[in-house]
Structure 1
């Protein structure tokens, strides 16, 4: 069901940097198909189909997701991950990008403290990439001006394969000053009919570490929460976990989105990036896709948590170096915990200090409705 946009909502989006009026719904499965886990029978069928395609030297149909080539894909910070097509088998998980992740919510107009999910206007994911070999030692992180803000119109996170929610990139290359001035802060405005209205400030609900990984045919966004150390009611209702993961795919802007999830402007991709899509509607997300405003990302929940994203499924020991991505994430989480503990104050103060903002100017981390 499409959420109606009121005058207040329109002003709220404009004043708080939320430029798009869209309530994302699950794409029509007849028109969009994102590959998930396949059975052995499906894998065999895919083998036959691939052989036929090779013989005829033709492309896959537009509605099928492409298999990855053997070429390396580089993220903005120079990290690499090799994605191999192996006739239906997943490649060893590789980390394409890692960094700090923040989860925020913003209440509806005049609702400073939401009392239920329906009181939330939007939820957000903030990604702050770090170098592949970077260590989280001295807080706070230096401002690299490479922070991204993703909007979740559905407000909650997908929790299983049945949940397929569209998100979009609202801002890229953001500095801490831009985050404070254009995202965190609330605002007051005047209306002709209701007088002064208030757009609430963004409220933190979690902080941790993340990794964008590739398992060959799929990309994943995996995270481990550092704050809060114990999940509250808000975190659980939003679908946040101590450790979680999503399959993520990037939408080809050449194909129209569902009417309820259509953005007013398409992402301005360079020619080289348009070529990545070939004729496919969806391709596995790569970090550089998130460097363009209005990029639409399909997020599919993974009920198994981070296991697949970090390549730790029970495969009888056949997968070489399968513990490396998990160990790297666990080490990053431990570094982040020590780093955040060095920042003064409670959880809220630590998050704002990490973003170089004054905690007293913004709402405290919310754990209860």
Structure 2
């Protein structure tokens, strides 16, 4: 799959990979240890987007709380072992699922040895049904996976970090992910002959939730693999638990010259009307279901606490807290991955119905 022409070098911030050091080798025993411990314990910078939603006059604009039900396009067709009653599910969780983090080296760089060797980072979101619980083994292909490109390579980690990403592929099947994303590619050039784009390399897997706090939307995640963060994860700002404020760009307004896509998203009338004349609106799950949707990721240094704030009406109704729902999902995923074949790399590829021997192993060190 050819990368879209978005300049990833627009930020003045430079991220160093740090001193090289050894980390624990990924193996089934390491993965099992984390499960046992859990069981025992039970970018671009966008300057015109402020923390508060404002209209073109600079006045605050109050955003209406989003519908608590995710779009069926985002969350249908998933294997479940059991279901919660709908009235027990926190209304602030708009969508939940499995998240994967990948990187791709620059042309002719098979194994990145520093951040500058990376062309782009990718976030893969694989939704599951709103009230579903994970069953053992790989998830079946629901054809609803999205591939989100992070041109800045590193993830935003504080409110000062505001990186523009875009949906490269929505509604992807596992075959499309294997054939068009995971695999490398060779192409011919007039001046340099045959060139090789390396295969994508996994750096993590976990669970996620898209949540609303009424005014803002958030993408929160909890990492399952690797068991211990390595140099690569630290350099790219991938955390054991992290979250971002997420906002969707109105396609009728042009973005910075360095972040413009050749083609905009083909939103239906319903979504276009949600924007009104605002440049940004809180991201809804169905915004990820359209190629070229531009999603602003704003870092949250406080971790996942704000993203998982309970809604007042849910507390009155004694519904499950969002944090408890996320921890339960993480626990299910830990147990599920424990029974997957092979090491951590093999587990990730098995989840995507790919053969681990055909692709790079999980990278934790440069």
TM-score > 0.5, shorter chain as reference: yes
Q: 1:190 to 1:157 in 2, by over 3 A?
A: same
1:33 is aligned, of 39, 50, 72, to 50
- SS of equivalent residue, structure 1 residue 212: strand
The answer to whether structure 1 residue 258 and structure 2 residue 252 are counterparts is no
Q: Are the aligned partners of 2:64 and 2:215 in contact in 1 as well (CA < 8 Å)?
A: no
How far residue 194 of structure 1 moved from its aligned partner, in angstroms, is: 2.1
Q: How does 1:173-184 map to 2 (within 5 A)?
A: 173-184=171-182
Per the alignment, residue 339 of structure 1 pairs with 336
Relative distance call for 1:344 and 1:202 in structure 2 (3 A) is: same
C-alpha spacing 1:205/1:95, structure 2 compared with 1 (3 Å): same
Secondary structure in 1 matching 2:158: coil
Which of residues 312, 327, 330 is equivalent to 1:330?
A: 327
Which digits, 9 at most, give the CA deviation of each residue in 1:30-63, with x for residues without a partner?
xx33428xxxxxxxxxxxxxxxxxxxxxx95465
- Equivalent in the alignment of 1:67: 62
The answer as to 2:185 corresponding to 1:187 is yes
Retained in 2: the 8 A contact 1:311–1:323?
Answer: no
Deviating beyond 6 angstroms after TM superposition, the runs of 4 or more aligned structure 1 residues are: none
| Separation in 2, partners of 1:294, 1:192 | 29
- 1 or 2 for the larger relative contact order (CA 8 Å, sep ≥6)? 2
Residues 1:143 and 2:138 aligned together:
no
Q: In 2, Cα distance between the equivalents of 1:78 and 1:227?
A: 27
CA distance in 2, matches of 1:74, 1:269: 19
Count, aligned residues? 316
Q: Is structure 2 residue 360 aligned with structure 1 residue 363?
A: yes
The structural deviation recorded for 1:114 is: 0.3
- Counterpart CA distance in 2 for 1:191 and 1:20 is 17
Paired residue secondary structure (2:103): strand
CA contact (8 A) 2:68 2:91 kept: no
SS of the residue corresponding to residue 74 of structure 1 reads coil
Q: Secondary structure at the match of 2:72?
A: coil
Q: Structure 1 residues 71, 177: CA separation in 2 closer, same or farther (over 3 Å shift)? A: closer
| Distance in 2 (alpha carbons) for counterparts of 1:140 and 1:123 | 24
CA distance in 2, matches of 1:70, 1:287: 14
- Report SS of the residue matched to 1:331: helix
Contact kept? 2:95, 2:209, Cα under 8 Å: yes
Task: Say which of 76, 83, 91 aligns to 2:71.
Answer: 76
1:89 alignment counterpart: none
Q: Give yes or no for contact 1:78–1:131 (8 Å, CA) kept in 2.
A: no
CA offsets, 1:316-341, max 9 Å, x none?
A: xx965586110110010011011111
Deviation at 1:176, TM superposition (A): 0.2
Unpaired segments of 5 or more residues in structure 2?
Answer: 9-42, 76-89
Distance 1:191 1:165, change over 3 A: same
Q: Provide TM-score, normalisation by structure 1.
A: 0.81
Distance, in Å, in 1 between the alignment partners of 2:273 and 2:57 is 14
Deviation at 1:132, TM superposition (A): 1.2
Instruction: Name structure 1 gaps, 5 residues minimum.
Output: 1-15, 37-58, 81-91
Which stretch shows the higher mean deviation, 148-157 or 262-271? 262-271
Please name the residue that 1:46 is paired with.
none
| 1:108-163 residue CA offsets vs partner (Å, 9 max, x unmatched) | 01100000111000100000000011111121101000000000000000000010
Cα separation, 2, equivalents of 1:154 and 1:255: 22
Using the alignment, how far apart are the partners of 2:232 and 2:348 within structure 1?
17
Does the CA contact (< 8 Å) of 2:92 and 2:310 recur in 1? no
Q: Provide the C-alpha distance between the structure 2 equivalents of 1:127 and 1:227, rounded to a whole number of angstroms.
A: 15
CA distance in 2 between counterparts of 1:192 and 1:60 reads 48
Deviates more, 1:319-328 or 1:195-204: 319-328
* Residue 273 (structure 1) aligned with residue 271 (structure 2): yes
C-alpha separation in 1, matches of 2:255 and 2:57: 15
Q: Secondary structure at the match of 1:198?
A: strand
